[in-house]
Structures are given as C-alpha cells and as structure tokens.
Amino acid sequence: MIKKIGILASYNGSGFETIQKAIIEKKLNAKVVVVITNNTNAKVLEKAEFYNIPYFIINDKRYPGQDIDDKIARLLSEFGCDYIFLSGYMKKIESKLLTAFPNKIINTHPALLPSIYGGVGMYGRFVHEAIIKNGEKKSGVTIHYIDEVYDEGEIILTKELEIVQNETVDSLENKIKELESIAIIEAFQKLLV
C-alpha cells in the first residue's frame, strides 16, 4: 500500500523535491499528497504547483486568532497523511500536531545528533559555522522524529562525513546538502517497508 506524505516547508522545500524525485524514480513507494507552508513567498509553492500537488498557506496573518496547529493537523488528517516531513519548516511543532501524528513527523538536521549542534537557533549555516569554528573532525546529517524539544526526537538514521583541512562553511554546507538528499531517501526506504 502506498504511504501518503505531507510536507511542511517555509522556504525552498529542497527535501520535498528530493522525496518527489525519488518517488518518480520508483525509489520510494509513496506519494506526496499535500504541501503546507507558513510563507506566502515560499519557493516550495512553485514546486508543489509544478508537481500538481495541492498546497496551502497557513499562518497567523491569513488566519488571525485561529489555532494554526489545529488547522494544519486537520488538513494533514483530511489528506490521510501517514508521515509528515519537515522540509525546512521554521515554526515549532506544537503538541496538537505531535498528538495527532505520534512518531510520524520527520525532520532532517544538518549535524550529527545528539550534540551541541542541535536545539534552538541551530539550523542551516549557523550549524556549519559552529562546527567549523570549533574545529570538529566530522559532521553529518540526522533524520529524526519530532518531539516537544528541538532536535531531541528519536533518531531514524545518521550519515556522517569527514571535515577536510581548510573546510569552509560553504563547502561544508554543500557537502551536507548532498548527504542530506541521500539520508532522506534512505530514511524513508527504511520507514516505508
């Protein structure tokens, strides 16, 4: 049976695109059924439109005074999502969503968890800058479930890489992005069996 995936994204949705391409190439037996963003200018909207996937913009500006997380949870339920993937979603996942989808909300983090490179404020380039500054010998990608605390959910898988001499934030970021694509596909292959 084909599993249904919902995407939450705030910007480009590169992880969503990785999943969608893997589905098209028959590497994943799944279907992305809905894309939700909190950003009216997110590039992920163009990608969802390109792939003909229903998309929604849900934020406080559009729905003032309404329970945004409840709205998102209901929408994901309506679309029958088996898993939710956070593709650069920059809003904290609250208890309503966690309760509605226990161990079904998946995130990718651009470092090896658990470590000091997770938690509030540790995302994107901030992670790579800290790793380079601290002279770490390795970094990597962690795919994990979401829970109440940033970057502390159960780990699904990690992939690591060596940090070479004269590594820059840009070079590390590019390597991590490549590794992340591989990790996302492997994690979903593991989950979708």
- Examine residue 165 and state whether it is found in any structural domain, yes or no: no
Percentage of the chain with pLDDT > 70? 100
Rounded to a whole number of angstroms, the distance between the first and last alpha carbons of the chain is 10
- Examine residue 120 and state whether it is found in any structural domain, yes or no: no
Q: What is the CATH number of the domain that holds 43?
A: 3.40.50.170
- Examine residue 132 and state whether it is found in any structural domain, yes or no: no
Average pLDDT, integer, range 22-31: 98
Which residues lie closer than 8 Å to 134 by C-beta, 6 or more apart?
none
Q: Indicate the number of domains in the chain.
A: 1
Q: What is the pLDDT of residues 70-128, one digit of tens each?
A: 999 999 999 999 999 999 999 989 889 999 999 999 999 999 999 999 998 899 999 99
- Which regions of 58-154 does DSSP assign to beta strands (E)? 83-87, 105-109, 138-145
Instruction: Using pLDDT thresholds of 50, 70 and 90, give the confidence band for residue 150.
Output: confident
Is 90 exceeded by the pLDDT of residue 149? no
- Examine residue 36 and state whether it is found in any structural domain, yes or no: yes
- Examine residue 106 and state whether it is found in any structural domain, yes or no: yes
Enclosing domain of residue 60: 3-114+141-159+178-192
Residues marked active site are found at: 109
- Examine residue 15 and state whether it is found in any structural domain, yes or no: yes
- d(CA 19, CA 5) in angstroms, rounded, equals 9
- Examine residue 130 and state whether it is found in any structural domain, yes or no: no
- Examine residue 99 and state whether it is found in any structural domain, yes or no: yes
Which residues lie closer than 8 Å to 186 by C-beta, 6 or more apart?
143, 157, 159
